[in-house]
């Protein structure tokens, strides 16, 4: 039976690298996959999933209006799709997560979704909240805070490296805008304790 998986982590934990490795494993065995990435993420080449270590693969871009299930089933009608892999899954809508669950349940296509659990304020993203509710398997990809503890939070910083506590939920960026921290250092940084190095 196919399952819906949610692989979640803080920033810079290797989510895209893990996704690309899973994709490679399927393709190496002659199985076709379908990759999706958020259209809003413009840090690298448009329409690609790119990891910080230099791996990349083309992907179908999605936004809030994309019917992901229809895209997959159209491709599946032409040639069997063995697995669907979604990067930046926090940007999915709840309805799109429901579509992914139906792909696994009704169409027998496994779905591996990779994304952040929480935003820079410690609040759940819509897509992540729905994935946490529906996924058959929740897998935490671990990252490390500067203190050595597990990083679970994403601190947004300004151009001077100072913590930011207010603003829009979504602001695209990498190491220049976000620091992965343990909860203790995240709370301390927002309280004026600075960012650990």
Both 52 and 104 in one domain: the answer is yes
Both 83 and 177 in one domain: the answer is no
Per the structure, how many domains does the chain have? 2
Task: Choose the final residue of a domain: 142, 166, 183.
Answer: 142
What integer best gives the mean pLDDT of the chain?
89
Distance in angstroms (rounded) separating the CA atoms of residues 196 and 170? 23
- The H or E element spanning position 76 is helix 68-78
71 annotated as a binding-site residue:
no
Both 105 and 8 in one domain: the answer is yes
CA distances from 29 to 25, 82, 118, 166 (A): 7, 11, 34, 46
Both 156 and 182 in one domain: the answer is yes
Q: Range with the lowest mean pLDDT among 15-24, 39-48, 69-78, 167-176?
A: 167-176
57 annotated as a binding-site residue:
no
28 labelled catalytic: no
Structure tokens at 66: 């994309």
Both 14 and 85 in one domain: the answer is yes
Summarised one tens digit per residue, pLDDT across range 1-58 is 899 999 999 988 889 999 999 999 999 999 999 999 998 766 666 778 878 788 889 9
Residue 99 CB-density burial (10 A; 0-12 exposed, 13-18 middle, 19+ buried): buried
Task: Choose the final residue of a domain: 142, 159, 174.
Answer: 142
147 annotated as a binding-site residue:
yes
**What is the SS3 assignment for 58?**
strand
178 annotated as a binding-site residue:
yes
Both 104 and 40 in one domain: the answer is yes
**pLDDT number for residue 82:** 97
Bridge pairing between strands 60-62 and 33-38: parallel
**pLDDT number for residue 159:** 82
Both 177 and 130 in one domain: the answer is no
CATH, residue 70? 3.40.50.300
Taking residues 83-107, report their average pLDDT: 97
Both 110 and 161 in one domain: the answer is no
Summarised one tens digit per residue, pLDDT across range 99-135 is 999 999 999 999 999 999 998 888 899 999 999 999 9
Q: Show the domain range for 173.
A: 150-193
Q: 28, 78, 88, 126: which one is catalytic?
A: 88
**pLDDT number for residue 171:** 63
Rounded percentage of the chain residues whose pLDDT exceeds 70: 91
Both 177 and 131 in one domain: the answer is no
What Rg value do the Cα atoms of the chain yield, rounded?
17
**pLDDT number for residue 87:** 96
Task: Report the greatest alpha carbon distance in the chain.
Answer: 56
CATH, residue 163? 3.30.60
191 annotated as a binding-site residue:
no
Both 113 and 177 in one domain: the answer is no
Of how many residues is the chain composed?
A: 197
Both 61 and 84 in one domain: the answer is yes
Both 138 and 154 in one domain: the answer is no
């Amino acid at each position: 039976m196919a399952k819906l998986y949610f692989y979640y982590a803080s920033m810079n934990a290797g989510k895209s690298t893990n996704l690309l490795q899973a994709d490679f494993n399927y393709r190496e065995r002659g199985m076709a996959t379908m990759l999706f990435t958020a259209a809003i993420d413009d840090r690298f080449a448009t329409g690609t999933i790119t990891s910080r270590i230099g791996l990349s693969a083309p992907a179908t871009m999605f936004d809030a209006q994309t019917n992901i299930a229809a895209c997959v089933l159209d491709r599946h009608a032409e040639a069997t799709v063995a697995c669907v892999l979604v990067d930046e899954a926090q940007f999915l809508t709840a309805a799109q997560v429901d579509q992914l669950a139906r792909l696994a349940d009704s169409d027998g296509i496994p779905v591996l979704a990779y994304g952040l659990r929480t935003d820079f304020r410690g609040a759940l993203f819509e897509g992540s909240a729905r994935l946490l509710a529906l996924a058959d398997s929740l897998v935490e990809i671990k990252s490390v805070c500067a203190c050595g503890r597990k990083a679970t939070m994403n601190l947004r910083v300004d151009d001077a490296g100072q913590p930011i506590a207010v603003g829009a939920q979504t602001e695209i960026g990498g190491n220049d805008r976000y620091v992965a921290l343990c909860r203790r250092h995240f709370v301390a940084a927002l309280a004026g304790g600075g960012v650990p190095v």
